[in-house]
A = this chain, B = another copy of it.
Amino acid sequence: MKKYRVTFLPAHKSIEVAEGTSIAQAAQRTEIHINNLCGGEGVCGECKVQVLKGAVKTDAGPSAFFSKEQLEKGFVLACQSKITEDLEVEIPPESRLEGEQIMTGEAPADVQGGVSPEQRPESPIYSLKPLVRKIYLELPPPTLQDNITDIERVSRELRKKIGWHSFEISLPCLQHLSDTLRDYDWKITVTVVKDRGRYRIQKIEPLDTSSRNFGLAVDVGTTTVVAQLVDLKTGRVLGVEGTHNLQAQWGADVISRMVFACTKDGLHPLHEAVVKNIHSLIESLAKKSTVPAEDIHAIVAAGNTTMSHFLLGLTPCNIRLEPYVPTADVYPQILAGEIGIRINPRGVLETLPSVASYVGGDIVAGIVASGIADQPQVQGLIDIGTNGEIAIGNKEWLVCCSASAGPSFEGGGTRCGMRATKGAIEKVEISNGKVSYQTIGRARPLGICGSGLIDLIYELKRNGIIGSDGKFDRGRSDPRLTFEDNVPQYVIAQAAETETGEPVVFTEPDIANLIKSKGSIFAAIKSLIDYTGLSFDQLETFYVAGGFGNYLSVPKAVAIGLLPDIPKEKIKFIGNSSLTGARMALTSEEAFEKCLHVSRSMTNVELSNYPPYMDEYIAALFLPHTDRRLFPSVKD
């Protein structure tokens, strides 16, 4: 088979690949990350590249993703272009996967409505009882009057420290116990791991090493993977790092990755990608904190059901296909080494339990982090991404559901939509025909991210540029309202202002997509409230979790009918509550127990089997809603 060389600009990385390889695959091998929302199907248009030298073979006809000028300049979709000769390829900034805002922590204080668990007065206080404890013991040596076995002597002393339990022990530990005790004057440090109802002695070391005990809380998100390094002796967070989920190579959304995972040998690379992500996080955390990976004894990971399956190397294929069956929703505690994660060789990995195919451990973690399951008041939690997961309940009961929101909020499905990375327009204001916007990193605009789109649709409506049905007022005289093939579009940034030299626009079909997304989310919230027999005003708090939520303007989200019209102070950002919950489960066995309890007791309402949902969805395809009584505070 013939081989050709491809050189990527501006990185000046080059690679030799076999004939027929796609540009996207070639880029992947040089570790250049190109947007890939649809997983290489050629339908999202996010992987545009410019072929500077050479020509490619494309199966698809001329794409609707390009202007005539772009086509002339050699723009192609990287995933659809096969290499048949040597190439030089420029990857434009909007196609690069870099510099994204990663929600690494709890809600920052400077964000509107932001609330960290420590600030919440009603926050459940879980005591510091980490998943893995290192306990220093000075044992009384045996005498004729007190000659219980060595392991019983250790257990007896452990019970004084951590309560009455039986302690299991692995054979290698037991084999070294007697000599270690006697060689070190009965001074040892015992590593005890909690595993469901049991305590297991995992390691016995001479003398006092109890201060060398660290853990990792990981949020395995579809887009990003974030980890906190925690000192398990004190509970203190030593550092936090985030990185892009390397699985993005196989698609930005969960479904694309599942499709790939179900092809022959497809699961392994996706599993390996998460492991590699976690490795790189451990590496940078270890470097910055000077804690060696060897001293990390526990990892608690939270992710949606599919991510949890990928992490553990479980096939997610049956989650996607009717009747939507995961392999497991409660996952066994394993040695991290079993899936190739290099921490202490006896270090364990817990994956927080899921509730259903589309309500995962990240939501369970969020419920525990928010304290919903500990309070008598009814509260809600929403995490908006490609799916919107919603949970409502209190310490007595919990219900949840999941709705597919489509890619709009993450920058897909709209002409100039993009992820929340550098150059994305994140805020927009329109006043008297004047548009002002703000981009991430204060860079020249490349496109619009989710929060920008919410702003935009709100501003367009407020200014009467679009109606409640999301259609442009075509009779309006506005230089920014233009038409392309008779499709109206609104220009937010003129060609001259942008990084690409192309205008950033918002088309009528874009608006329709966004209304569908917000409609599906609101319909889910409404359906769940109705399912419980409650009304919105009975919600004491409505927590908004996750990266998207964090940059959202609450009044605008309510005004377009995405979030329910309840008093604004009741809507609170909770940040990366998946990570917070994972850290709580890592540092407190009570919090871990609570996660298990939530996963077991929460009722999942399957919206596809819940007839009222479709009616709610249709009713929500308006700005803010067909039933205006649901949004009393929103003015026309």
- List the interface of chain A (C-beta within 8 A of B): 142-144, 146-152, 166, 168-171, 174-175, 177-179, 182, 196, 198, 312-315, 317-318, 322-332, 334, 338-339, 357, 609
Contacts and interface: CB of A to CB of B under 8 A. Distances in A.
Contacts of A318: 150, 178, 182
B144 A332 contact: no
A312 B357 CA distance: 44
Contacts of A175: 312-315
Given A143-B323, A178-B318, A329 B149 contact: yes
Contact of A174 (B148, B152, B169, B312): B312
A267 to B, nearest CB: 9
6 contacts: A144-B322, A144-B324, A147-B357, A149-B329, A171-B332, A171-B338
Given A170-B332, A171-B334, A147 B325 contact: yes
Given A168-B332, A312-B171, A332-B170, A178 B144 contact: no
Contact of A147 (B179, B314, B324): B324
Nearest to A198: B198
Oligomeric state, in copies: 2
A327 B171 contact: no
Contacts of A325: 142, 147-150
A329 B152 contact: yes
A313 to B, nearest CB: 5
Contact of A151 (B151, B171, B328): B328
A196 B196 CA distance: 14
A460 B572 CA distance: 99
A120 to B, nearest CB: 33
A600 to B, nearest CB: 11
Contacts of A174: 312, 314, 327-328, 331-332
A547 to B, nearest CB: 28
A440 B52 CA distance: 98
A186 to B, nearest CB: 12
A509 B343 CA distance: 66
A313 B171 CA distance: 9
Given A318-B178, A338-B171, A150 B332 contact: no
B312 A178 contact: no
A333 to B, nearest CB: 9
A313 B177 CA distance: 12
Nearest to A335: B171
A360 to B, nearest CB: 12
A176 B248 CA distance: 25
B315 A171 contact: no
Nearest to A200: B332
Contacts of A313: 171, 175
Contact of A178 (B168, B196, B314, B330): B314
A323 B171 contact: no
B179 A144 contact: no
